[in-house]
A and B are shown apart, each in its own frame.
Chain A
Amino acid sequence: MKQRTGRAAEIGLLTFAAVIVSCALIIVELNQDQQLSWDLAWYGGGYLLALLITHLLVRWLAPYADPVLMPVAALLNGLGLVMIHRLDLADVARAKAGGDPTGALEAPLQLMWTAVALGLFLLVLLVVRDHTKLQNYAYTLALAGVVFLAIPAILPARYSAVNGAKIWIKIPGLFSIQPSEFAKIALIIFCAAFLSSRVGVLGQAGKRFLGLTLPRMRDLGPLALVLVIALGILVRGNDLGTSLLLFGIVLVMLYLATSRISWVIICLLAFGAGCVLMYQLFPHFKVRVDIWLHPFADPSGSSYQLVQSLFGLGTGGIFGTGLGAGRPDLVPFASTDFITAAFGEELGLVGLTVIIVLYMLLTSRGIRTGIAARDKFGALLAGGLAFSIALQVFIIVGGVTRLIPLTGLTTPFLSYGGSSLLANYMILALLVRISDSSRRPPPPPPVLGASSADDAAGAGGTGGPGGSGPDGSGPGSSGETGRVRLGKPQQLGEVHTQMLTVPGRRGRDGGQASAGKGKDAGRGTGNGRGSER
């Protein structure tokens, strides 16, 4: 029964993550010749307690959620905490040697943010009991996201610029928020809602040009508008990393909704042309590319950060110097943008490979959540969110390791930063919510036939759905429905998304309303399936 929900697996994996994080922390302390103090035990204990509480509440809020998502995020978060603490120790030592006052410690703050983020994670699970309801707020979210994104551009630099990037909202001395992290989620939700409402129309109408079917402007108009505004704001604020991220996410979600590789190619060509243009027009952009191509041309000037990062990675080699035994603090922004370089130096290629594999695991489970989702919106949302994590990791780690030009982004769950942590736990909460709904067994009067076999596969979290009947008939019918319904109240997002609600989901809504009943039923069927396998 517990195998069925995956909660036992989750607590097992969480324990595993906790053991690894604790060991890492102890190794850091030993290598830094620190006394193992009770303070540290409090920190460690606090982190473990927060995880335990979160797990127990997930049992209540999303009992059928994918058991791998949370532990992987917790492990990455914990490793990040250890590294941030380790960098704190280096800062303290450096301040002591230089006779300077010790700066603010980042690890306690990050731990506080972890607690807040776990709270937010639970809050999202509590509030969003049915992810499909998010569609009702698609346009509201898009508007809020764009406005939020625009605030730093409007604010004076004193309240918005950190290290030259005008992408923050900061109240000096109190807090600073990076709106792009949250706007990203709002835009993904909007994108998923918008595209899922137009799945049928998108690929079918439009002019043909050189063998490609071009989308009609009115089908993509709102999305294109939102994207252009968002990218405009970001490029103006010199936030190339987030621009690239948003563009990539929307592109992939467009592909998910239409299966048209041709559009992806068109967009990539446009992107390439845009890059060439920007290289010519924006000195800022040109500098980034030049640093990437020739990092050792100006190693103590413009490319200092990248060169230091490469030195760290090179010194780490295959096995690393050992946690706490290297000098990752020599790399600027080691706790935020360059945390991968810090891990690469102290844990080596082996350690970084493990971290990348953790991201592979996390994002693959996200994609799997999308595949198992029972609604288009959920599938698109899960796919978009999972891909956003993967692309963000690719952009920042690729930048730090000189695979692509360096653009500033945080490394999800690892990097120091409240906004990043909160936003990523929100993403995690949405994935957990979607996976819970897809793995949740159907309500008591079970539907016979192929669809129940589907559910079994989805719930088990292995393999793809087997039902071929719905697969074949699905797109046509839903597309038809979508087009017909959309014909009526085009401009009112809330209304038309409500109209989209398909009978199948209604049924699930019923199941969710009586959550206890659904769970009981699930246990019943779960036992049966468990024994079959």
Chain B
Amino acid sequence: MSRPLGSLQRPLRKIGTAMLVLLCLLLVNLAYTQVIKASDYSSNPLNRRTQLADFNRQRGQISAAGGVVLASSVPSDDQFRYQRSYPRGAAFANLTGYLSLRYGKTGLESSQNALLSGDDPELTVTNLSDLVTGRDPRGANVELTVVPKLQQVAYDQLASKNLTGAVVALQPKTGAVLAMVTSPSFNPNPLASHSTDTQREAYNKLREALTTTAPDPTVNRAIESVYPPGSTFKLVVSAAALQNGFTPNSAVTGVNRITLPGTGGATLSNYGGETCANRGGSDVTLTQALAHSCNTAFAEVAMKVGAAKLKEQAASFGVGESASIAGLPGAASRVGDMPDQAAVAQSGIGQRDVAFSPMQNAEVVASIANAGQRMQPYLVSRVTKPDLSLLSSTEPTSMGQAVPTEIAGQIRDMMRESEKSLQSSLGQQQFAQYDIASKTGTAEHGSNPKTTPPHAWYVAFAPATDPQIAVAVFVANGGDRGLSATGASVAGPVGHAVIAAALGGG
């Protein structure tokens, strides 16, 4: 039998070749996609695989001073190898943040991710050897300066009374953050759950605040928000005044009300309309004015010092710099423009456009406590490799002299008087043993300050002669006292408790 098919064989061969060419084109394109574009695609933030990988490898742990674990990856037997856990919960949630499959990462989980996940270039050598030895790549451990006991006490102080606020405690000599608390907070554990429903439920609860008037638990008030500092700003004014002709004993006005220049009769009065230290309006010393937080006196002092010197002094305390720390987002504090004398007077008592973060206020007192030298606050004390060998550690950094040492000493003594006045007004003597130097603040805010509960502040350091801790307490909207709230009555006790916890031993 013959094969009359010669005519088909040639085209078949050609089609066969064309077919192979088509399939080869696929291979070329695959090589392009999987080799040249591979890292673009695999590291694209929209690619959920990198995020999922976080749940399948041993992420480094976040710990506080003394090795107390704040966040760790524990082996899990469900669809992921590890479960991220936050044993200390809400009190530390503003630091740790959370690592959620659906909702991403926040806090240090996000800002320190490269180290924690092990992707940091400094860790690649370790991880390469892990690859060779067949061990899963692990992340580095981040150790914080935070003292768990202080953080917990501060958080409990705020949370137990449902206060909205923040506490920042610094070690004056180094700038190490001893506590950084915000309230209300949230429990990060359900957000890290491997169950989609649990995550969703927890996340929706977090977001509830956005649609109601309830305070947002995701805001880290210690560094992310700025508020009028009220009378605590008088420390900055004092620092500027003492360098410009004033002494602690300089006579300042003791009247209950002054008229602001150039406003056509607007007045500025003392708290409750009282004369300074209830002395009938006669002159008082600067020390007395600070101890009794007399507004008229500091308004006049501020006007005498002038806007330029006030701004300069504020800047040397760090005002204007972002409060961001360890990659956690922070806001910059400000003193405002102070365009005229009336503005300077109002700014002099920490109102008008002056706005401080609790961290900023803590830096002011820490600098005064540290003989005028401002230290850069830091949160991460050291980073260790997966095998616990040291990768890096933080050395305290000086940001320069905020006030001369001598003047810092004068302010310190004035603050001791202020604390004495506070303790007598509270009728509490049990804190005298700690030798506290402090200043309270009661800041008006809102469109109608008379009907809006004021913000309460308390800034302090102790012991005054050898400062171990500087603390700033902020309680928003009168805390649990409403319109009658003062810094002394609302924020003071919180600060006292933190200082007692820090110095009380035990």
Contact = CB atoms under 8 A, between A and B. Distances in A.
A318 B3 contact: no
B50 to A, nearest CB: 8
Nearest to A382: B12
A94 interface: yes
B40 interface: yes
B49 A255 contact: no
B23 interface: yes
A464 to B, nearest CB: 7
B39 interface: yes
19 contacts: A94-B79, A98-B196, A99-B196, A252-B15, A257-B8, A311-B44, A315-B42, A327-B48, A330-B52, A379-B8, A387-B15, A394-B25, A398-B25, A398-B29, A442-B1, A470-B5, A475-B4, A478-B7, A504-B3
Given A299-B46, A386-B19, A256 B26 contact: no
Given A330-B48, A474-B7, A344 B26 contact: no
A451 interface: yes
B38 interface: yes
Contacts of A393: 23, 26
B45 to A, nearest CB: 10
Contact of B30 (A93, A313, A376): A313
A353 B3 contact: no
B195 interface: yes
A376 B5 contact: yes
B135 to A, nearest CB: 15
Which A-B residue pairs are the 3 nearest by beta carbons? A314-B41, A471-B6, A474-B4
Contacts of A508: 1
Interface string A390-411: 1101100110011100000000
Interface in B1-33: 1-13, 15-16, 18-20, 22-23, 25-27, 29-31, 33
B16, B31, B48, B79, most chain A CB atoms within 10 A: B16
B16 A367 contact: yes
Given A318-B34, A390-B23, 14 more contacts: A93-B78, A252-B18, A310-B37, A313-B38, A314-B33, A315-B49, A330-B48, A344-B33, A356-B30, A367-B15, A371-B9, A373-B5, A402-B29, A470-B4
Interface stretch (A106-114, A272-280, A357-365, A521-529): A357-365
A145 interface: no
A390 B29 contact: no
A409 B35 CA distance: 26
Interface string A496-513: 000000111001100000
Interface residues of B, number: 47
A99 B42 contact: no
A259 B11 contact: yes
A330 B49 contact: yes
B133 interface: no
B8 A370 contact: yes
Contact of B6 (A326, A475, A504): A475
B466 interface: no
Contact of B19 (A390, A402, A472): A390
B19 A353 contact: no
A311 B34 contact: no
Interface residues of A, number: 80
Nearest to A390: B19
A295 to B, nearest CB: 10
A426 to B, nearest CB: 20
A152 interface: no
A189 interface: no
Contacts of A507: 1
Interface in A196-243: 199
A477 interface: yes
Nearest to B101: A97
A470 B6 contact: yes
Interface string A431-463: 000000000001000010001001000000000
Given A394-B26, A398-B26, A374 B196 contact: no
Contact of B49 (A311, A364, A442, A469): A311
A376 B3 CA distance: 9
A289 interface: no
Contact of B12 (A256, A360, A374): A256
Interface string A368-380: 1011011110011
Given A374-B3, A474-B2, A97 B25 contact: no
B248 to A, nearest CB: 63
Contact of A504 (B2, B31, B40, B48): B2
A318 B35 CA distance: 6
Contacts of B9: 371, 379, 464-465, 471
B194 interface: yes
B24 to A, nearest CB: 8
